[in-house]
Amino acid sequence: MDKAKPVEVFEPFRAGLPPLGRYWRSLWTRRAFISEYARSELREKHYDSVFGQVWLVLNPLLLSGVYFILIVIIGGHSDKMRYGHLTGCLFLFYFVSNTMSGGIGSITRGGKLILNTAFPRIMLPVAATVIGIFRFLPTIVVFMVIRSILGFPIGWAMLWGIPIALITTILALGLAILISTVNVYFRDITSFLPYFTRTWLYLSPILYEVSDLKDQLKSIEVFNPLFSLLNSWSRTMVHAEAPLVSDMLASLAWAIGIFLIGTYYFLSRERDFAVRL
């Protein structure tokens, strides 16, 4: 009598959350791998070399110089505070945009790893955020040198920069998680992202300060997740003033909201990634 052959059953994909407690514990146990994975990505792009570190800072610094020249030509503003605001906010914006750029392809680039290894897939956009942090830290040092040369005021209010940077990290992580999931289903978003980030830069208080806006435009800018965040960063790191409570609350709400939405969408679709890659 012939032995019965094993039967394979392919169940349809159903969106739903995995057991969250076990999932987060599994992610935490792999924190060393996340750090090393991020470092390997940086080494691949030569950011561990001297020239890589220099270009990492030089690129946004040159852009800030170009934008400042345009501001001087168009608006006639040439004060050092305007340049400090432009440079500091541009560094923070690049932290968010670089994290998004790294996160958008984190799942699709890790296709072989996903198909051959069992691990929490959210590790990949988390690693992209860690890379963004590694790239952001040198720019803070450079900005502190710039503000010292320009003679900006120094005060205890600058310590508000720490929670602002943490809120920015949560926002960047949420965006990386969200956009990495969207990219699995809509690959063309990779080509669209540079135009989106450039438009986002112009709509954010980077080339201008919030005080320069008319009240009608301020009401529209509340829909920009970076608006209150950049204003708080400028007040703290450029003017050495405490941020507005309303700005901090709005920034925290945006960051937590985007993180929760992105994480829910990612975890509910994670089991479908292997089929889509």
- For residue 95, give Cα distances in angstroms to 26, 155, 172, 241: 27, 24, 8, 22
Q: How far apart are CA 170 and CA 172, in angstroms?
A: 6
Q: Which amino acid is at 105?
A: G
Token pair listed for 191: 């080509």
Rounded to two decimals, the pTM is 0.85
Q: Token pair of 6, please? A: 């094993």
CB contact at 8 A, 171 and 225: yes
Encode the chain (277 residues) as per-residue pLDDT tens digits: 455 555 544 444 455 677 888 888 888 888 888 888 888 777 766 666 666 667 767 777 777 777 777 666 666 666 778 888 888 898 899 999 989 988 888 888 776 777 777 778 888 899 999 988 988 888 888 888 888 888 888 889 999 999 999 999 999 999 999 999 888 888 888 888 889 998 998 888 888 887 777 776 667 777 889 999 999 999 999 999 999 999 999 999 999 999 999 999 998 888 777 666 6
3-state class (DSSP) for residue 261 = helix
